[in-house]
Amino acid sequence: MSSVDLSVKLPNLTLKNPILLASGTVGYGQEIAEFTDLNKIGGVVTKSLSLKPRKGNAPQRIVETPTGMLNAIGLANVGVEEYLKSKVGFFKNYDTALICNVAASSPEEYLECVRLLDSEERIDGFEINVSCPNVKDGGLEFGNNPALVSKITNLTRGATSKFLAIKLSPNVARISEFARIAKEEGADAVSAINTLVGTAFDIYSRRPKIKNVTGGLSGPAIRPVALAKVLEIRKNADIPIIGIGGISVWQDVIEFMIAGASAVQLGTINFVNPGSAINFLDNLTEYCLTQKINSLSELTGSFTL
Ligand SMILES: Cc1cc2nc3c(=O)[nH]c(=O)nc-3n(C[C@H](O)[C@H](O)[C@H](O)COP(=O)(O)O)c2cc1C
């Protein structure tokens, strides 16, 4: 089984394999560690970190939908300072890439968060969340605004020489425009996609099922959309792509790579089966062997546009 090369080389970051665990679905990493072997996974992306701790939105914050879920957590997190003090240390015992996801209310706050986190050696890179649909300040407004995405990328690039990915919103007309901006301002990759804005109603109370009224749709329902966004970015922007959205079985990983993703992230599936990543890796190796593929990364963008 070990004769297949699963590694992925991205600018400023090499992963042992293309499977990362997505922001917001595995806490700070420790929360999932007892259910999976983190040493075997390509990397972990933390819950979005902000400069100050955030409580997030009031419940109800999560609702199941047909083949997916809506969430409006609202970026609840311990804040950068507490993260550095009490959370990052756990990773020093693990050999897996650690990517800190950062969310903020202003371009300057993004810069400050990355600057503070950059000094911690264990952190391998950053994913900048300009696309959270569930917060009143910032969130989608950033992800919808080319000038702000440009400024945030430029400032955060200036604050770190580590791996830097910009996490893009699918709730825009042309996602590839934002990918091009990220590339121009020096990002190493883009992550696509964050959740799609959605809602659901209780027919008896006639009220939204989510207190925030709308939430972010994730899970298998969004996979075809995410694949199309990955394809659009690949066609129009020359930047490595981390594919995210509804990955639920190992075959989905292959689909994202064929469409153009260099690596992928598993999100909602972690709530269904937190051991999925390991199971997928075994199947990916087996697939490569039977398809006579020496290096899994050969698949990236193998669909000819
Ligand atoms: C409960 C929940 C919390 C999330 N929190 C964050 C977050 O803090 N920051 C972020 O960038 N994305 C967050 N996301 C989005 C995921 O990282 C991912 O982009 C999205 O769920 C699509 O992937 P999936 O369909 O595999 O879940 C969250 C998703 C869920 C379901």
268, 269, 273, 276: which to mutate for ligand 1, most atoms within 8 A of CB?
268
Average pLDDT over residues 13-21: 98
In the chain, what are the domain boundaries? 8-57+73-196+218-299
Residue 147 CB neighbour total at 10 angstroms: 9
**pTM (predicted TM-score):** 0.97
Give distance in angstroms: CA of 291 to centre of ligand 1.
32
Q: Which atom of ligand 1 is nearest to the CA of 23?
A: 17
Alpha-carbon radius of gyration of the chain:
18
Supply the residue whose CA is at minimum distance from atom 28 of ligand 1.
24
Give residue ranges with CB within 6 A of ligand 1: 22-25, 47-48, 69, 71, 73, 75, 101, 129, 132, 167, 194-195, 218-219, 222, 244-247, 266-268
Give distance in angstroms: CA of 64 to centre of ligand 1.
14
**55 burial level (CB within 10 Å; 0-12, 13-18, 19+):** exposed
Confidence of residue 137 (pLDDT cuts 50, 70, 90): low
Give distance in angstroms: CA of 160 to centre of ligand 1.
24
| Spatial separation of the C-alpha atoms in residues 275 and 33, rounded to whole Å | 10
Alpha-carbon separation of residue 235 from 108, 111, 238, 260, 280 (angstroms): 32, 30, 8, 9, 27
pLDDT tens per residue across span 29-52 = 999 999 999 999 999 999 999 999
Confidence of residue 129 (pLDDT cuts 50, 70, 90): very high
pLDDT tens per residue across span 216-253 = 999 999 999 999 999 999 999 999 999 999 999 999 99
Amino acid identity of residue 83, one-letter, is Y
User: Tokens 């999976």 label which residue?
Assistant: 36
Q: 117 near 84, Cβ under 8 Å?
A: yes
Supply the residue whose CA is at minimum distance from atom 19 of ligand 1.
194
Q: 80 near 117, Cβ under 8 Å?
A: yes
71, 140, 167: which to mutate for ligand 1, most atoms within 8 A of CB?
71
| Spatial separation of the C-alpha atoms in residues 57 and 37, rounded to whole Å | 31
31, 54, 67, 73: which to mutate for ligand 1, most atoms within 8 A of CB?
73
Give distance in angstroms: CA of 181 to centre of ligand 1.
23
Q: 77 near 54, Cβ under 8 Å?
A: yes
Closest alpha carbon to 297 in 3, 5, 1, 16: 5
pLDDT score of 2 more than 60: no
Q: Is 113 a catalytic residue?
A: no
Give distance in angstroms: CA of 239 to centre of ligand 1.
22
Supply the residue whose CA is at minimum distance from atom 6 of ligand 1.
24
User: Tokens 């698949």 label which residue?
Assistant: 299
Give distance in angstroms: CA of 119 to centre of ligand 1.
26
Q: 45 near 23, Cβ under 8 Å?
A: yes
pLDDT tens per residue across span 59-116 = 999 999 999 999 999 999 999 999 999 999 999 999 999 999 999 999 999 999 999 9
The number of C-alpha atoms within 13 Å of 221 and in the hemisphere containing its C-beta is: 14
Supply the residue whose CA is at minimum distance from atom 15 of ligand 1.
194
User: Tokens 């609202």 label which residue?
Assistant: 74
- The DSSP output letter for 169 is P
Here the contacts of 278-285 (C-beta below 8 Å, separation 24 or greater) are: 278/36, 278/37, 278/40, 278/41, 279/250, 280/19, 280/249, 280/250, 280/253, 281/6, 281/17, 281/19, 281/40, 281/41, 282/1, 283/250, 284/6, 284/17, 284/250, 284/253, 284/254, 285/1, 285/4, 285/6
Is CATH 3.20.20.70 what the domain over 8-57+73-196+218-299 is classified as, yes or no?
A: yes
Supply the residue whose CA is at minimum distance from atom 21 of ligand 1.
218
pLDDT tens per residue across span 158-190 = 999 999 999 999 999 999 999 999 999 999 999
Give distance in angstroms: CA of 218 to centre of ligand 1.
7
- The DSSP output letter for 85 is I
Supply the residue whose CA is at minimum distance from atom 29 of ligand 1.
24
Residue 66 CB neighbour total at 10 angstroms: 8
